[in-house]
Amino acid sequence: MRYWILAIGFSTALTLPHILVTLSGVPSAEPEFQPREFGSQPAETEYSKDSQRGVVRVQGSSQPLTEKFIQQSVTKRSPEQSAYVSIWHWQGIREATASARGLDSEHHFASSYLVGFKPFKTKQLWVPLYTLAMHKEYQYDHLQYSGLADIWQTSRQAYYQKRGDCEDHAILLADWLIELGVDARVAMGTHNGEGHAWVVAIAGNKEYLLEATSKRRETSWQAMPLAELAEGYDVEFQFNRHFFWAKKGSRPTRKYRGSHWIKKSQFIRG
């Protein structure tokens, strides 16, 4: 059995492009939040019920990629090297899935970080993005985790942890939107040449690019940008709770669906 590991780091903050398309109404006031405030510490049982264990079934392979195999491979690296996002090639199939180091210091599959968490009920699609902008601070991982490049938070952890970088914001936003019935995915790639993660939401057969790290306070929150008009974003991979996609070829694209995307694998939790 042959395998290769490609480590890629994602950590930079960006601003939302000023190209907007209306989706829903403007909030007249800040939404009402649950009694437990954003960034407060949950009870131990809050985290313990989110299992990230599972296997990945790779398209074209009869043998699943297991978390045990990933953990064994990662332990051969230095702590600094293990704190990067890893893109896994499996049994001759390139870019089969991704994994990243979590707050528990172990590597988990990318899809496992979307744990099915909804902080509170809302019918308004602008509320999750608004909540992130107002209540979660952006901070580079290397400043928060003693120099380590990439440490991921699950969607639940990202809500209760006051600070996080681009993938933490994107994981929480995508998972929350999925709970609202939106086809949302975390996108990984670059923006203006710098590693980054953001969210793409598919609604009404249109694709919207959501910059989860945006902290603009004067934004009209009824507006969200069409992905095809957002400049500077070069997406390489996408994932949601179940699937991992890789772009075919090196040509940049602003389209998040189509024949140039290959569904590489499925994450099966449990």
pLDDT in tens, 32-74: 444 355 666 665 555 556 889 999 999 999 999 999 999 999 8
Regarding predicted confidence, which is higher, 118 or 50?
118
Q: Out of 10-19, 149-158, 261-270, pick the least confident.
A: 10-19
Tokens of 97: 């899935």
Q: What is the pTM of this model?
A: 0.83
192-234 pLDDT, tens digit each: 999 999 999 998 889 999 998 887 654 444 567 899 999 999 9
Domains, the chain: 13-52+115-269 (3.10.620)
> Which pair of structure tokens corresponds to residue 181?
């019935």
Q: Label residue 184 by pLDDT band (50, 70, 90).
A: very high
Question: Among residues of the chain, what percentage have pLDDT more than 70?
Answer: 76
Predicted confidence at residue 159, as pLDDT, reads 94
Q: What is the pLDDT of residues 20-43, one digit of tens each?
A: 333 333 333 444 444 355 666 665
- The pLDDT assigned to 112 comes to 98
Task: Write down the mean pLDDT value for the chain.
Answer: 81
